[in-house]
Structure 1
């Protein structure tokens, strides 16, 4: 039967049907959250190919996240069939808008394009190419936001596949089933943008083969669009993939520059204002409204009752987990075996980088293949795009490619040419690449390089090379320079050695017995050791600590231990790491919190803070606690420095309206500047609620909200707000102040 439904959900109505299955709007009975459920028809449950395709879509969705992508809550697979539970977006498709208006004002089209490009950028950063960007897959909300949906034919970047997509928007390489890259999505997005401003598709034909020829060979019709956006059309629809922006993030930077030059700094606000004239139509046409699901974007929090829930809120993380558990239990009871893939985790909801320069940065995992003299190479490498400083971007990409270039160039010396394998095959060289850390200041990547050849033993050759980049300068940091006076200093190297041995996990090579008289050489971070010139100890920052790659044979371990990976927490390395790297990792202030000796009276309570923090107490409504050391001894304007705001919500003036819970903090008549990402001339907008819960302040509990706000230049600010209704005190942090939560938990009430 094809009317199978997940127990625990009440269907509100149909959102559509197709050859694979149906999509419905449904309300979860326990939490009252409204979601969209995509069901695979029951008749395909026993079809391995169809089921694999459906499972692949869920896996792709689990890789991507962000405010401009419709979120995946979970994937459920049962004997009856499979279902993907997704965010239900309160809005309508761009296709619906274009069916009612022949074309859009350029500012409005640019605003929609920017939001959906940011969605693509999120997918590209996760190594995914959408391959089916079209008006039907771009949803526009009344709140002024566009979201990308339907990753049904998405693939990993660098993969090839059959020609697939929507013909009207397919790039030339896509028609031929070539390698899918982020630039493939850029082409489709530009075609849709052309349609928005020109009132028709760039190429139109009744026969598919004719349409393919037009996309592959016909001139780009950029003369049919307004002059200010012609360059964007020409760049985005270039026939040669190398002539297009390399990905959506880079295209957003170009879009911003063109839009600001042509339509002024308020172009985006004007574009959404123009679209808002039809907001009533948007709301009326929304499936959530048509099916009576409600429109309020109120998240459900633990212990609270559910309001009308639209899925534009980002506050459903905890709720998603609750839904997952409930569905797993109910479905298992009803149908027996059930597999639930829960992908709605805190890791996937982590905020993007916080600086304007890097917010648009895209990190791509690409494939490089070469046939060389007597051997071949096929491997992964990392490439970035979207930095505003193109010279820095070029330096970074050169550093990211260097471990491969040098390896291929120098590994086989002229005196030793590669020999054929016993079976007549040739040696195969390859690399694997892993991004260990990517934030607004640091990018770290590790390459694992191997050679499939018996000329280097039964297991071939293997080596490892991390690459750490200071994104603030566009420069590489060597392993030795991650630390302060360690390389070449025996005593400090032994301190590092002991930490490495202590951090080894049970079963690791470094936990076994060794000759206690052997120690790492003092120059381990720079001394060359292996056949292709790796250091004995190499390091790279990761999300949860410093990742070390240790050639244990230098400590007396067998060569099978080369290299062993060990992760050491940053707190244990504070005395050894360089101040520059500590600052890049955001650990400088955290290191000083062990010396919290000064008390600051913020009104209703007192907090204990580091000695270097100082409170500006002259303002009656908003008091600023400066947390940045560099502001204390310079002429830097304190409000432009890192700090925490304490606001008295009981005091209201005409120019300082009261803070309203459920909205981002802004006690001024105009928009807030994006100071925390170093962009004081940009303004905050497009708020998305990420979290809503209760958090302790001393012995009391405050209502806590976490907002993600997109700046006019494309950067993103994370605003954290604590509100105490009885005292009317509001606390605001837009700088991700280290240790603030702990300081507030230890507050002493008067």
Structure 2
């Protein structure tokens, strides 16, 4: 049934229906405030994909705020269904205005554009790209204000997505499912502005593919708009992202400057005055006005999520509206956790070194709690054949986050406010150290932005090692054989730390007052206390996190990190872990001399010699063909006609023709349509390399993630197209010659 409704609210009327939800006007029984409630159809409540999309929209709304953005009160999830409770606005959509008036005076269009751009600027400041700016998602109020609504397909800035949006307003990069940036929204907003002043959309075609071609290649028709705003149109609709304003805030500044120059200092007041003449009648006929409410909601967007609903004009329910006892009794607690994907949803390129179909994602979880909030990373897997095991693994991967959220401050003992009046902010980072078909190891680090816990009280680290055969967590103590509780073997383990420490690390120098690890250093006194020693397997060795103050080091060294090669631990590892690591030979490491530095790699990896500037470090055991997973090391100083130099700022390709796609098992296919996903500095040993991450589409339709490290002084280029597990850690531990 799709007539499920939240207890504690009295419905006042329907605001319409969309593809997978309906929007109603309702009065909150306790406060008598009018709200708009967006319901997910009951038939979709058991559909994980639909439910995740609905949660995603609520999460985005919780992150963005401001007078020009629809505001979230609550996201509620029950066995019957899910609902988003939002504020309501006394107003109508720009779509309705254009349906009655077709064309607006430039000052009026500029005034509407400014308000909605400020809404976009608020979203961009929160790291969110709307991706569906269109007339139906811009509300105009009778008070002379425009607001942005409907974040149903919004994504994080820098995230790739499918080609989603409204075709008439989609930027060229959006058609290809490229990286979403604030400039993507600027393009759509400019298209809408063009429509307002020209009386028609910038490009029109019956066939979608024709419309795509026009957006990608057709000249910008700025000659069809008044001369004073042509520069704005030309800038905002530039085909090249780099030639547009970087975001809505920058575009607003340009808009105001152009408007003042062309229409005088009173341009905005005049625009709203002109608009009020034509829009006033429409506002009076808006759904909420007809229902006798003091506020009104946006119309519904046909064919999509049930429409944009927006903000009260004053005196509304406080942010974070509490669910009434009646609701709680029926639904248990309203869901307060929302999840978004941090990076593109495309699966990682298949690798011959990872036999399982498992996909590992780094996700973001945000939550508002009693007295503090949380925004951090965690790891989630998918693709295991045994879904019961997959569920156990994901529950274990979430457990450290859940524990921190309830143990740092107990629910009944919230923190005080900070001296500046702010609340504490908790965050986490997550790193996958090793992943294959048998084992997954992850390290979480937690920090809290607060003065109430002290430097070390606000920091914690947890390692998590999971046997993927059954989803069982392997504690640090059980990684080793008869070490925990055995003083002699604990001392032997301790000595491997000193032997493996590298120059500059805390353990490389003797402490001021030498001590030894207690015999029981791997088990905390209770579940909330971290142990003195934690460990997790990585590709090149076992990574230890040690509370070094126990050994006599300064507190600044706690925890310190040291990676011990497996060959130093053979006699200490448990039989279970030896088997999971692939037997004794797989645990051993060897050095690979790549010229400028030496890497410590698993023994099965092979560095192949070559007469060309490129050398392959093959990471697949017993593999010699062109499909072998490998890391490429290239000497950029060696150039000839067949191998032109690699150019930073472009994908790696040292050939005169297109680069093939062997990492997809398709050597006959070629790479193209490059999209830069990340650009930063990353460590290689004690030095920093320029790092770029590219998303490339192969001629067969699959995608490759190409990771490139470049060291200008040595002219060494490192390329990974196989998502090689543990490679980052191996490069960080490189030893320069």
Q: Which has the larger radius of gyration?
A: 2
TM-score, reference length from structure 1:
0.47
TM-score, reference length from structure 2:
0.47
